[in-house]
Amino acid sequence: MKENIVPILCKLEKIYPPAFFDVMVHLAVHLSDEALLRGLVQYGWMYPIERRLGTFKRFIRNKAGPEGCIAEAYTAYECMTQCSTYFSDIINRFTRSETDHLTHWLLYVSSWY
């Protein structure tokens, strides 16, 4: 892969005009090097982080103080997540049904194969 991506980009250069190659296209060259250092891509991409930001966004109820809303809601959420690990008889993120877990797992870790 490390040596595959260079010919791919060279071939693209032969087809597309130079204006096509902004920095994002160029960065593809370095991805395999980074994967060797880091391990799986799934541990270093923004998908789960963006999902988390979405959760924070939903915490906001009072638009005059968005930060305060997030801080209060987050501390409550964090505390209840912690407590809920001790109760298997309530529905929480650890005791959800098998299919939920599967989707969840697919979303963050799997590669869509």
Partner 1 sequence: MVLEDMSWDGMSLDGNQQAPLHEEGQAEDELDDGARGLQGLIQDFRNAASHGFGGNVYKELMEEAKRELYPGCTEESRLSFIIKLLHIKVYNRIPTTGFDAFLELLSSTLKNVPGLPKSYNEMKALLRKLGFGYESIHACKYDCALFWKDHEHDDHCPVCGFTRWKVNKEGKKKVPHKVLRYFPIIPRLQRIFMSKQRAQYARWHKEKRVPVENVMTHPADGEAWKDFDETFKSFAHDARSLRLAIATDGFHPFGQMINSYSIWPVIVVPYNFPPWMCMDQSNYMLALLIPGKKSPGKDFHVYMQPLIADMIQLWMGVKTYDAVEGKDFSLRAAILWGINDYPALGTMSGRTTKGYFACVHCDENPCSECLRNKIAFICHRRFLPSDHEWRRNGSFDGHLEKRERPSKFSADEVVARLDEICYVPGKNPDMPKSIKRRRNEDEPVWHMKVSLYDLPYWSHLKLQYNLDVMHIEKNICENILATLLNIPNKTKDTINARLDLEDRGIRKELHLLVDTDSSSSKPRACYVLKPEDKKKFLQFVSNIRFPDGYASNISRCVNMEGAGSMQGLKTHDCHILLQRILPAGIRGLVHKDVYEVLAELGRFFRQLCSKTLKIDALKK
Residues 41-80 that bind partner 1 (CB under 8 A): 41-53, 55-61, 63, 66-67, 70-71, 73-80
Q: How far apart are CA 32 and CA 105, in angstroms?
A: 24
| 33 part of the interface to partner 1, by CB under 8 A | yes
Shortest spacing between CB 26 and partner 1, in angstroms: 4
Q: List CB contacts of 68: < 8 A, sequence separation 6 or more.
A: 62
| 96 part of the interface to partner 1, by CB under 8 A | no
Element at 35 (helix H, strand E) = helix 23-38
> DSSP label at 18?
G
Shortest spacing between CB 14 and partner 1, in angstroms: 6
